[in-house]
Each structure stands twice: as structure tokens, then as C-alpha cells.
Structure 1
């Protein structure tokens, strides 16, 4: 049996849950305890993770070559070195959102591709709300000493130029309070950004949907797409005394408002209480294992919404909610996060959670987008 690192728990400390007959150390970064679990793998991890976490390790149980292995890896909550993957994806997403923004502004990039940079306000608005949402999660992860990556942006050549951004958490969540704080921080930060971006966007000059910047005769994305604005966006526009639609034919709201629309739409979807979404984290932190009952209702509600739109709204946006119904089904099967300490959260977090869910409802509209109008 190899000598353990000084800070690694000795096998004798957890004989009630895992019987160890061999230990292997890999460059002092990973300690592998070979043996037999004396309870289910989930129970072993839940019971042993707090002790390992105190010593700077995260732990999991695997089966390698027919043997059970309790694997302890050193935790590294900070960012080591330059996150080149994150940087490359961000740069790529800047490019795809500039190209998408050019479509919204009607910039003729086919003839003059360098003019895509003129769509920078669109890129700043869309990436800004996404980045602030994910950085909300990241900041609270660091606050609770949970290992999390910087945001990974997803570049896709669509009308928006991106499918959003995510952070990766490869760590145990120490408590329901930490789970709540990390889960709620993203939507709340994103909503603040959504309100600011929307207020700025509606205050900027509108565009002519049939004309292009610096020329004439081009068709903008705004002529092919109709956005459905949720109550939150409508309230912000009303609050600053600016319209979201114009009586003049062909006049459209400034594309910066699209960033606010993205923020609201992403917030609503993320607050669905299923799987690994923010809404599931918040709901589990508040009601514990009752989440399993709640998330069974979500796919039914989404499919029901699709059915309503098909029957009463001419099928508008049906595909969106059918897709998300299946996504909710899949996420529900994957399962969510189980915090190590299951002590209930306090009254203050309950009130904040209810407020967040209400804001999520205000970010919902049954027909968020119609293409080909």
C-alpha cells in the first residue's frame, strides 16, 4: 500500500462505508482507494464527501477492471492558467453574433463582410446578458468554494449567433443554502442585465426594416422575424416611455432590444424546475426531494402549451414548446444536484426564491418568436 499524501484521509476514517484493501497515489493529485463499498455508491459519496472536502478533495466511486474504486481528486476552485477553450469559444461567438447582428441591421456583409463590425451593439447586448447571467453563477460558486469553470459560449450561425453560454461545475455542493445561492444568482444577475439592455435598446433610434445601414434595398432579419415580448420587457419599455412597436410601416425597434429579449427568454427557460437547470437548483434548495414530483409536471405543461397554441393560435411556436417538452423529459431523467448538507434554507431565501420565480413568469410569453412573418 502506497504512502498517502499528508492531507488525504486515512482508510481507517471511513471503514463504516468503504472497506479499503489497496491505495494508489497518482502524482499526489489523485488518490485511489480500492475496496468494497458497504452501502450504495450514492450513500458512500454523500457520507464521505464532507470529510474529503475539508481536506481539499472531491470524491466519487467508480468501477475499474472489475474493482470498486473510491477516487479522491484535489479540488481547484480557482482558474489555473489561461482558459484557452473559453477564450476561443468567446471569440467565435463574437464573430457569429456580429454576423447575426448584421442581418438585424441590414448590413450588406455579402458584398462588404468587414462591415459586420458595425453590428457591435447587437453583439454587446446579446453576449452581455448571457455573460452576466453565467458570471452570477460563477461568483457565487467561488463564494461557496465550489469548483466552477468560466463561461463557455456556444457559437452557432443562427438569427442570434449563439445558443447561449454555460459554466461547468465539477464539485460537490456543500449545502442547500449554497445550492440556492448558486442557482438563483444567474437568473437574478441576468434579469438586471436584461432590464438595463432593454431600457437602452428602446431608447435608441429605431431602424427601417427594409433598408440597410449606409444603403438601400436590403432585407433585415427584422422583416423575417417577429418577436413576442414578455411582460417584463413590456414593463421596462413602458417605464422609460418608449414603444416596442411603431405605427410607421417598416420601422422596427433597435436590434439592441433583442439582447433584452434573449435575457428574458433564457431566464424563463433556465427557471424551469428540471434536471440541472437553475430552476431545479432553486426548487430543490427550497423543497428538497419534492423536486422529483414538481419536475414530472413540467413536460406535461409544455406539451399542453404546444397543444393550446396548435388549436387556438394557428400553431405558432408549437415547435419550440414540443422541443422543450422533450428536453424537460430528458433532463428529468438525468437527475439534479444533491447537496451534502440537507438542512433547510431560511425564510429570507424562501422569499427571494419566490420573487425569482415570479420574475421568471414575467419573462414568459407563449409565442416568443415567429419566423417568416
Structure 2
């Protein structure tokens, strides 16, 4: 996920609407150079903490005593952290691949960006809130905005596909009465791969995902969330690069759908709408809004839409 809003830097050139061109009105003072800790130390510390919390989360998922809290579990069974390796390595692999997609394309387009900043989270679920890359200078053209925005979801999606195929090979189909707790929604692509792996599954049975499969499922979830066409999400960047100011119209059409899904299915969609409203539903303009994407990038945009459709679960979580 990209973290810095585009269009808010004092170093951007100002558009001259009456001439339809840009005047060289840069404040030539470069942005402050970050210190060594901000550039390298903070990302490494946050990543190290996230490794610990995701290992903890992966181990806690295998706890056979649901009433035991995560902290008590760690105190009593500290060696069990090793059991979290399959989940943690898979999840972090997907998230790192996603963020590297943004980072590499930022370097290609010569847009300075921070290293990924991972956000550790409580171990009761997955142990992380994801990661963000901070853009340190403005993105000038729609082509660069598109490439940087779309690279993360596509890269993370490919990693998640590999992981789900491995995870399903270790998963089991069991009678539903033997399952309890959190029920995961089934995006279209997961349904397809499950059918390839297990054939038709009776309605009285469920798939119990291996930790690798659960991490891959979460990779699909992250991909779908990021491709929502809202403000500073990756989908907002991509849609703005394709549609320009019409991105706001699409975002305003999506909001009622998410609210409906939040009221009738998973309440978390309401939280996402609230967060998007705070950050901004409409995408800020780029410096040069008149550049065109070209046919190849538009085909990639269609591919991103397909990825969103096959990874989106209307009700991602429910209690069985």
C-alpha cells in the first residue's frame, strides 16, 4: 500500500490552466534527507517486531485450547513459536512481495520512496496490520502513478496464488460439525482452486485450511481491499490514472455497496468506509493530468479489475 497522498507536496510545479502547461515554479529546496535510523533502522525494527508477532499469531492459531489467551499461550509454551513459521513466512512473503512491487516501480520511475514500513499487530489473529511505503516526492505523470499503484497488488496476488496452491495441498476437507470458530469467506479464485484440488465439496463439509493456506487467503483479502477504488488505496491510484477525476464518481458508487455489505454481512466494511472518508475518497490530482496511459496499461487495468473480482469476498469473516 502506498502511504503518501499525491498532490500535496510544496515541490510540485504549478499548473497554468489558461495556457494548459506547467510553469517552472518548483521550490528547488529538496525534501529533508532522512537520518540513518528513519531510512534503515525504523523499517528493520518494525519488520523484526512483525516477524515476532506473525510467528506468535501462527503458533496461536494452532492452539488447541481456545480459552487460553495469546499471552498465556506464549508464556506456557514459548517453544511453540516455531510452529508459526509456515504461516509467518507465507504471510510476510506475500506482503513483502506486494510492497516490493511498489518499491521497484518507484525506483524505475525515479520516485523516491521509503523502505516498506511493516505494522506489527496483536497475535490473536494474524499479527500484523500490513505495511506501507511512504512516497517522498510527487508523482508527475499518470503512467508512473498507474505503474507504481498496480505493481503491488499484482505482485502480491501472484505470490498468494502460489501460496494457496501449496496451502490447499496440505489442507483437509472435514464434516462441518468438526469445525468451529472463524469462518472465512470464499472468493471465486479460492473456490476454483478448491474444486481443482478436492472436486465438488458437499455442503455438509468444510475445508480446514493449513496455515500456509490461511496466509494465502489473507493475501487474497489484502489484494481485494487494496484494489478498492478509494482515495489513497492502490485501487484509487490505478482508477485515477485511468479515469482521472471520474475516479471520484466510481468511489461514490462503491461506498453505498460497501455500507450495504457492512450492514448485512461483515461490519468491517463500515470501518473501511469510515477510514476512506477520513483519508479522502477522491484521489488528489497528479501534476500532469493530460498524459495518456496507452493500450498496454489499459489492458493491465482490466487485469487488475479481474484480480479484484476473483479475490473479493463479500463476507470475508463470520462465526461458525
TM-score bracket for the superposition, by shorter chain length: 0.7 to 0.9
Specify the alignment match of 1:230 in structure 2: 187
For 1:151 and 1:352, how far apart are their aligned partners in 2? 24
Question: Structure 1 residues 324, 130: closer, same or farther in 2, change over 3 A?
Answer: same
Specify the alignment match of 2:134 in structure 1: 168
Q: CA deviation at 1:122?
A: 0.5
Query: Which residue of 57, 60, 63 corresponds with 1:100?
Result: 57
More strand by share: 1
Measured against aligned partners, the alpha-carbon deviations of 1:212-264 in whole angstroms (never above 9, x if no partner) come to: xxxxxxxxxx842111121122223334x247979998982211111111111
Question: Structure 1 residues 250, 335: closer, same or farther in 2, change over 3 A?
Answer: closer
- Structure 1 runs, 4 residues or longer, greater than 6 Å off: 41-44, 79-82, 243-251
Specify the alignment match of 2:107 in structure 1: 142
Query: Which residue of 298, 309, 312 corresponds with 1:364?
Result: 312
User: Which piece of structure 1 moves more, 199-208 or 356-365?
Assistant: 199-208
Q: Structure 2: which 5+ runs fail to align?
A: 1-8, 17-21, 65-72
TM-score, scaled relative to structure 2: 0.81
* Residues 1:180 and 2:162 are matched in the alignment: no
Q: Structure 1: which 5+ runs fail to align?
A: 1-40, 53-58, 60-69, 210-221, 310-315
Task: Please say if residues 244 and 289 of structure 2, whose CA atoms lie closer than 8 Å, have aligned partners that are also in contact.
Answer: no
Specify the alignment match of 2:225 in structure 1: 269
Task: Please say if residues 182 and 317 of structure 2, whose CA atoms lie closer than 8 Å, have aligned partners that are also in contact.
Answer: yes
For 2:238 and 2:262, how far apart are their aligned partners in 1? 26
For 2:242 and 2:279, how far apart are their aligned partners in 1? 19
* Residues 1:329 and 2:261 are matched in the alignment: no
Question: Structure 1 residues 262, 337: closer, same or farther in 2, change over 3 A?
Answer: farther
For 2:275 and 2:169, how far apart are their aligned partners in 1? 36
Specify the alignment match of 2:89 in structure 1: 124
Question: Structure 1 residues 248, 98: closer, same or farther in 2, change over 3 A?
Answer: farther
Q: State the Cα RMSD in Å.
A: 3.3
More helix by share: 2
Specify the alignment match of 2:292 in structure 1: 344
Specify the alignment match of 2:257 in structure 1: 301
TM-score, scaled relative to structure 1: 0.70
Q: Matched residue pairs, number?
A: 295
Task: Please say if residues 140 and 286 of structure 2, whose CA atoms lie closer than 8 Å, have aligned partners that are also in contact.
Answer: no
Task: Please say if residues 177 and 285 of structure 1, whose CA atoms lie closer than 8 Å, have aligned partners that are also in contact.
Answer: yes
Specify the alignment match of 2:5 in structure 1: none
Specify the alignment match of 1:255 in structure 2: 211
Q: CA deviation at 1:129?
A: 0.9
